[in-house]
Structure 1
Amino acid sequence: MKAVRFAAAGVAGMAELETPKVRSGHALVRVRSAGLCHTDIEVLHGRYGEGAFPLIPGHEYAGTVEAVAEGVTSVQPGDRVAVDPNIPCGHCAACRKGLTNLCATLKAYGVTENGGFAEYSLVKVGHLHAIGDLDFATAALAEPLACVLNGLGAAGVEASRPASALVFGAGPIGLLMALSLKAKGVAEVGVADISEPRLAFAEALGLTPFVSGSEQLAARAKSFDFVADATGVAKVVEGMVGFTADGGTALIFGVCAPDARIAVAPFEIFRRQIRLAGSYSLNRNIPQALEILSHDDGTMSRLVSHQLPLAEMLPFFSRHSGDPATMKVQFSAEA
């Protein structure tokens, strides 16, 4: 089979590999769509995970079951499925609390185990979820959407029922968060970014655009019940509290550099009763993400800007596209 393969840190290429043999408790999945995430690039450079090279990357994927191990009854050949990539141990302190995403020995397809940027992927059957008649490109959004839902859960969005929200970052994950807030009934959802083309796209999705650093945005200080960062820029995170309404919540969702630091005024957090929250990855919530995608009117699927053959994915691992029209890039078996 053909696959994108990380041979070593910083070394990515196309490879011709043997199709995995089905082993106990597993299913062989023919990958139909797999999304590129910035995490994949971090994995390539050894900045995320264990540096488990050689490795087939890809943790956002969906496809059809090709074959199953003897005795497997939960899935069968022909089933259309999405993959939950996280592989927790199930017995550490975090797992016992239900925080499987914080497992002490967390592994994941596409990070420590071969993932979805290949024609076939061998996956434990407990990590496969039926997608019904969802198209594969949309189903491959379930993993990033599940990360968003984990973040909104960590921030207590369901309980607090914010009337207004602001998301910093009009990239695919920021827009997915903003659209999820709309889907949860938040009346006003704004998106802030420095890219006017991306803000125009956000507005076309029914979101309120704000140019970061503008007078328009400055005039909305302390007015949003919920504020989230999806940029991973420390200075943006530092400024979130200034846009959070009294009694509101600020969520650190973007991935800042491990050595980045911010300055906040503890008195302001205290006096205005601001809640700070963080979230990491997804936590067994692919089914909830698929449920939302199954009821979406096609807006979320508009975040997929590129569907490419496997070999054409390779340049995206080595460079960051400067094109603001580039949103979610996916390998598509049909491309």
Structure 2
Amino acid sequence: MTSFPSTKNNEFHFCNIQALRGLAVMLVLAFHVYAIETKYFSGHIIPDALGVIGTSGVDLFFVISGFVIVSISRDGCGNPASALEFMKHRVLRIYPLYWIYSLIVLSIMLISPRLVNASSGHRADILASLTLFPSVTLPLLLQGWTLTYEMFFYLVFAALLAFSSRRFLGALLAVWAVVTFALACWVRSEAMSHPALDVVSSPLVLEFIAGCASAMIWQRISRRASMPVFAVTVASIVVVALMIEGSSLDAIIQWRAAYFGVPSFLVVLSAILAERRFGFIAPASMQVLGDMSYSLYLSHILVISAVGRMWSWAFPAGPFFWGTLGAVAAAIALGWVSFRFVETPLLLASKRVFDKRPSMLKST
């Protein structure tokens, strides 16, 4: 997922957006812990509603990604060199840590295939997994499917960055949204299916574009005009909560861009306005979770699956409360360790190797 420049006191750093990244990863963690409880435990600590709403963390991540990349890169519009620099740093940000966790899963798969990718028949396209190319099967690291979308976002945005001016970036993003919507309608009306086409035509692309839009419009919203934005944000969350109550996860996922994408856009916009117009800053603990969110996002399924399996073996009819608590605590702990001792050194090493000159994108 996209992160901000590391320098905290600059125009590109939004504390509340970093905190939202923390919220997003905790929602995803809750969603997957709920699934682990269902699979291994005799009951649930995670509420049923959170077991459904947790999937919205992915939608929030996509909106945040759109916001961040426009915030940090639109001054490079019309400059192919800036677009190449942007893509270089996206690749260095996404792939190295992802490869580490993917190779861990591959090792597990080689030893015991039944432990990996049950939803795809314990199969995986290894090349597609490592390249994040669309595939008919899920990646080795299940959550890698979202990174396939991220890389598609980055490729299209890099093209816009290379060949458009800052003045026309908004118009081109609007064209991209219209084309995506038209493709989505056409693909579904014709019942077509192909991994690459599914990504290109997915309504999830609209969430990314919505994030881009939030980065372009927030500065035009005054302190006074922020209040209606806050009200609409709260109303949208309440309305969606009422609409999805009692609905199956499959039914919700089909319309997730509407159910979760719209509130995510409003939440991101509200978070920016709260910080820049009212000086409200989210708790530091949430910002720390945001800092480590990529490591936590990539590692958490491995951790909670291991804890769930071991707990159910040791205590088949035991107190599942402690199993759930242990899974969450272990996931967060390993996420921090990964961030501190794996992700951060990897990023620093990649900058030393590949950064030959100063760039506004070099710390993204």
Q: Do these two structures clear the TM 0.5 threshold for a shared fold by scoring above it?
A: no
TM-score normalised according to structure 1 size: 0.26
Which structure has the higher relative contact order (CA within 8 Å, separation 6+)?
A: 2
Q: Which has a greater percent of strand?
A: 1
